[in-house]
Structure 1
Amino acid sequence: MLSLKLPQLLRVHQVPRVFWEDGIMSGYRRPTSSALDCVLSSFQMTNETVNIWTHFLPTWYFVWRLLALAGGPGFRAEPYHWPLLVFLLPACLYPFASCCAHTFSSMSPRARHICYFLDYGALSLYSLGCAFPYAAYSMPASWLHSPLHRLFVPTAVLNSFLCTGLSCYSRFPELENPGFSKALRTAAFAYPFLFDNLPLFYRLWLCWGRAGCGPEALSSSHSHHLLCALLAGLLFTARLPERLAPGCFDYIGHSHQLFHICAILGTHFQLEAVLVDMRSRRAWLATQEPPLGLEGMVTMLGLVVAGNLLIIITFTASLLRAPGTCPLLQGGQPEGGPQAKQQ
């Protein structure tokens, strides 16, 4: 009878420091795991298992939403719907990329960094994807066809490059200066989020304390999306609750798992909010010239994919040229507890 041996799990002091997570004391996979070991580990309880599944399953949810919307009668044939479909493509990609990063990050120190380079690239592509429906459906009336409206998507393209570059670079000073690394990575993702949501913040300010404000009104899904994004940001930076009780949340309940859940819920509510704007503001927007056609959107998306791949290749080449004695790859284990390490 065939038996399947699951990979052995290790404690924090048994793995190089580059693999340490703040407040996570056990459940680590072997830092030289094979690809098969990594896949098998997703079916045993490790400190990465919930991270893997909280993004693998939502990937298929967003694929289902994309196919359901795209398969609707006449949906793809109408240019008005194209920004929504372009938004859903990176919404499907980023959870899948994150799932793969968490699955295969224990193959080696180099593989770990490269996995997260690709993860960051997918997230920055998602930040651009958000700009398309916001520019098409969510702009305040006074912003339509203004310089800000015309430059909204091109600026999001530049933000995507900045996001990928900063987040990839933030892995290099991670061991020597974890605070600086964490600040860089937080800024890399916070800035594109704040920029993309400028139309919503302005509409919220216009409607604050007013009973009715017509097409500027925000739906409850907008509020839920912004709340989930705020919670995700707090969890990412604070590393709670495992920082308060190291070892108690190694397998279930640590901050990165909660961060994943908040991020996915935020994307779900964002999709619902975009659908509300697309439908409720359609009659008003029908008389307006769309800011970008399908060709322009595909060109922008293709440019960002190529640019982000170039950035990732550049950082990967730098990583591959680094000597094996580089602290980034060795991750020495000095005496004392594990230092702060964020993903």
Structure 2
Amino acid sequence: MLRIKLPHLFDIHQVPKVFQEDSIISGYRHPQSSAMDCIRSSFQMTNETVNIWTHFLPTWYFLWRFCGLCSTVNFLAESYTWPLLVYMLPVCLYPFTSSCAHTFSTMSPATRHICYFFDYGALSLYSLGCAIAYCFYVMPECWVNSWLHQHFVLIAIANTVFCTSMSCYSRFLELQFPHRSKILRTGAFVLPFMFDTIPLFYRLLLCFGGSCNHPEALSSHSYHLLFAFLTCFLFSSHLPERLAPGRFDYIGHSHQLFHVCAVVGTHFQMEAVLADMSSRRAWLAAHSPSSTFLGTLGAFALAVLINLGLIGLFSASLLRESEQSPVGPATPHTLQVSPGNKEE
């Protein structure tokens, strides 16, 4: 009978501090895993398995929706659809990048950081895609052609640079200043989100005041904001595992719930963007300037180049720092495997 030998798992005290997660006691993979071990571990129950699959499977859902849009929307010929294209690209990208980061993050300390650099870069591009879609489809009617509307995408690009820079930099503080690192990383993502949703918050405020135009998408927008709040809360609170360390190591810890809320929120956001794009098209065509290549695809391409440059700089700095004060491979003393730890 064919027997598949799965990678060994370890407890928190058996792995270096850089791999340890708050209130997660068991289920850790070897901190010097090979790429093949990382892939194989995604098919066994570890404390990362659900993290991997809660973003890998939604990637295919978003790709399926994107392919469906490509068959009904003329992205090449209609400039009105370019903001949707720029939005859908990072919607498909960020869960896949996150899944890869969680899969291969135990190859080495340096690889772990670089994996998450790319994860943060993808999330930063997602925030830009949201900003571009909101600028062209969601902006309140009374703000169209205002100073904020005209500079919305430019400010969003600056926010993208800030988000990637601060989130990547926060990993350099993780060991010595974990609380400062967490605050910095949370703020790096909250700031672009708050800026992106300013038009949406104002539209919801108008609706609560009885001046609601084109309300078709507002229920989906509201659900998106609810799940966005839950995503931020779970990311920053480490609940429920903080209340019962070790009880939620494999299923139910905050990062898994954070992934689920993020994906569900993105689904509702996508539905809201599509509804606004459709219901407001005639009004926007008559009152708002047409979307341009530079304001949509050009802005996104520029942000991709900037993000890759930032990730390259932070990765080079990390590798130089590792050479000067390397975090050595786990020693037999720190990684002791008893026969009871073997899983086949």
TM over 0.5: yes
Q: Which residue of 2 aligns with 1:271?
A: 270
Q: Which amino acid aligns with 2:228?
A: A
CA distance in 2, matches of 1:234, 1:144: 32
Would you say the 8 A contact 1:219–1:276 is kept in 2? no
Would you say the 8 A contact 2:80–2:291 is kept in 1? no
Question: SS in structure 2 opposite 1:163?
Answer: helix
> How far did 1:280 drift?
1.4
CA offsets, 1:32-83, max 9 Å, x none? 0000000000000000000000000000111111110011164653222221
Q: Which residue of 2 aligns with 1:224?
A: 223
> How far did 1:319 drift?
0.8
- Determine whether 1:67 maps to 2:31: no
Q: Give runs of aligned pairs for residues 68-83 of structure 1, distance below 5 A.
A: 68-72=68-72, 74=74, 76-83=76-83
CA offsets, 1:119-147, max 9 Å, x none? 00000010101111111111111111111
Would you say the 8 A contact 2:87–2:132 is kept in 1? yes
Q: Which residue of 2 aligns with 1:339?
A: none
Would you say the 8 A contact 1:134–1:196 is kept in 2? yes
Structure 2: which 5+ residue stretches go unaligned? 332-344
Q: Which residue of 2 aligns with 1:243?
A: 242
Q: Which residue of 2 aligns with 1:254?
A: 253
TM-score under structure 2 length normalisation: 0.92
CA distance in 1, matches of 2:141, 2:253: 42
Residues 326 and 284 of structure 1: is their aligned pair in 2 closer, same or farther, counting only changes over 3 Å?
same
CA offsets, 1:70-124, max 9 Å, x none? 1116465322222112100000000000000000000000100000001000000
Q: Which amino acid aligns with 1:202?
A: Y
CA distance in 1, matches of 2:46, 2:323: 27
Structure 1: which 5+ residue stretches go unaligned? 333-343
Q: Which amino acid aligns with 1:133?
A: A
Q: Give runs of aligned pairs for residues 1-343 of structure 1, distance below 5 A.
A: 2-72=2-72, 74=74, 76-210=76-210, 213-215=212-214, 219-290=218-289, 292-323=291-322, 326=325
Would you say the 8 A contact 1:70–1:85 is kept in 2? no
Would you say the 8 A contact 2:82–2:297 is kept in 1? no
> How far did 1:328 drift?
7.0
Q: How many residues align structurally? A: 331
Would you say the 8 A contact 1:235–1:259 is kept in 2? yes
Q: Tell me which moved more, 254-263 or 2-11.
A: 2-11
Question: SS in structure 2 opposite 1:170?
Answer: helix
TM-score under structure 1 length normalisation: 0.92
Q: Which residue of 2 aligns with 1:340?
A: none
Question: SS in structure 2 opposite 1:22?
Answer: coil
CA distance in 2, matches of 1:327, 1:218: 52
CA distance in 2, matches of 1:225, 1:36: 37
Question: SS in structure 2 opposite 1:253?
Answer: coil
Would you say the 8 A contact 1:120–1:168 is kept in 2? yes
